[in-house]
């Protein structure tokens, strides 16, 4: 928060028109966002995912044989909360590891 306050002071006129409560709210929001980003970075580092993949980049048009409804169910993450396992199988070169890393990234988020 001290860094954010220092930046507010350097910005000058942009923040001077705000009330104390608004400036304090901005500081608290920034601190919360930085803490969340730090926790995410830690989770991703400990996960040691081999690929920088995310579920938003999954191309469902590829002929992997995955049903879009099944993938949507996996992406929502309910299986994680129920402590269920996930086994991804298929021929070599289909992108199983990439999909696993994308789901792992989503779980970390």
Give 60-106 pLDDT, tens digit per residue.
776 777 778 888 888 898 888 899 998 988 888 888 888 889 999 99
Taking the C-alpha atoms of residue 73 and residue 79, their distance in angstroms, rounded to an integer, is: 8
Q: Which domain holds residue 7?
A: 1-48
Q: Whose CA is closest to 99, among 65, 81, 40?
A: 65
Helix axis angle for 20-47 and 2-11, nearest 10°, is 130
Residues 39 and 56 in one domain: no
Model pLDDT, residue 34: 92
pLDDT at 37 over 90: yes
Residues 43 and 53 in one domain: no
Taking the C-alpha atoms of residue 16 and residue 12, their distance in angstroms, rounded to an integer, is: 6
Residues 68 and 27 in one domain: no
pLDDT over 70, % of the chain: 98
Residues 85 and 74 in one domain: yes
Question: Do 74 and 106 contact (CB within 8 A), yes or no?
Answer: no
For the chain, the domain total comes to: 2
Residues 53 and 105 in one domain: yes
Q: What 8-state DSSP symbol labels residue 51?
A: S
Residues 60 and 37 in one domain: no
């Amino acid at each position: 928060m001290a860094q954010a306050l220092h930046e507010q002071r350097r910005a000058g006129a942009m923040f001077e028109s705000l009330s104390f409560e608004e400036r304090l709210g901005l500081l608290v929001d920034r601190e919360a966002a930085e803490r969340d980003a730090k926790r995410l970075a830690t989770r991703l580092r400990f996960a040691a995912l081999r690929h920088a993949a995310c579920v938003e980049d999954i191309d469902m048009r590829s002929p992997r044989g995955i049903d879009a409804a099944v993938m949507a169910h996996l992406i929502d993450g309910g299986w994680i909360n129920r402590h269920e396992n996930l086994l991804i199988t298929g021929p070599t070169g289909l992108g199983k590891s990439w999909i696993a890393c994308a789901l792992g990234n989503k779980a970390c988020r």
